[in-house]
A and B are shown apart, each in its own frame.
Chain A
């Protein structure tokens, strides 16, 4: 069982992360990847700025991964979350889950994303194309509801 968590400004390569997990393995039956991108919000957005709590961000993601592992037989998990200024079209977050069977890999990745959105200490600020006024993105009730569905 391997877990890789990375937080920082650096971009990531989904294919390379998948290869790092699958290399030399003959037991894996499924690898699921989720890549979150920065939307331009209908052409309105110049960039998103992601602030995070250094130290806690990594620790909280690791706690969420541990919870996922208690629920599903995951052989490997990689979570990469970027910080700093991100342009529309660029990558923000990557979740990779590997398991013997697809159900666990899908469910694990879905669970990880729902929990990351509501418990990992990151905050998005929008930089609009028109004007210098920036605005913090408000948390969505939908995200809280998405997380609620995992409660036993």
Chain B
């Protein structure tokens, strides 16, 4: 699946998007965030406070309990500040 990052999450991770292949035991968004956090310092920094991270699966908002199976694109970003 493709992971995409926006705003300060993108800046901290150091890339806008990447292909990721989490292991089968990573089933939901919360688990995926924990798995990403363990990938290196930049990820640990980006996801240091998981509660503030907003997530979209295939361009629709989801909660951290949402299952990730079948997702093509998962986006991680801070609370939105448009308008």
Contact = CB atoms under 8 A, between A and B. Distances in A.
Contact of B6 (A118, A123, A138): A123
Contacts of B4: 53
A116 B82 contact: yes
Interface string B68-83: 0000000101111111
A53 B6 CA distance: 7
Nearest to A123: B7
Contacts of B60: 56, 59-60, 63
A132 B83 CA distance: 25
Chain B: interface residue count, which band? 10 to 19
B6 A121 contact: yes
A81 B7 contact: no
Given A53-B59, A55-B59, A60-B61, A122 B83 contact: yes
A136 B75 contact: no
B83 A139 contact: no
A138 B75 contact: no
Main secondary structure on A side of the interface with B: mixed
Contacts, number: 73
A138 B61 CA distance: 19
A119 B81 contact: no
B82 A124 contact: yes
A120 B60 CA distance: 10
Contact of B82 (A55, A63, A81, A138): A81
Contact of A119 (B7, B8, B78, B80): B80
Contact of A117 (B6, B8, B56, B83): B83
Contacts of A92: 83
Interface of A: 36, 50-53, 55-56, 59-60, 63, 81, 92-93, 113, 116-125, 136-139, 143
24 contacts: A36-B83, A51-B6, A51-B7, A52-B82, A55-B59, A56-B56, A56-B60, A56-B75, A59-B60, A63-B60, A93-B82, A116-B83, A117-B80, A120-B80, A121-B56, A121-B82, A122-B80, A123-B7, A123-B80, A136-B7, A136-B8, A136-B81, A139-B79, A139-B80
Interface of B: 4, 6-8, 56, 59-61, 75, 77-83
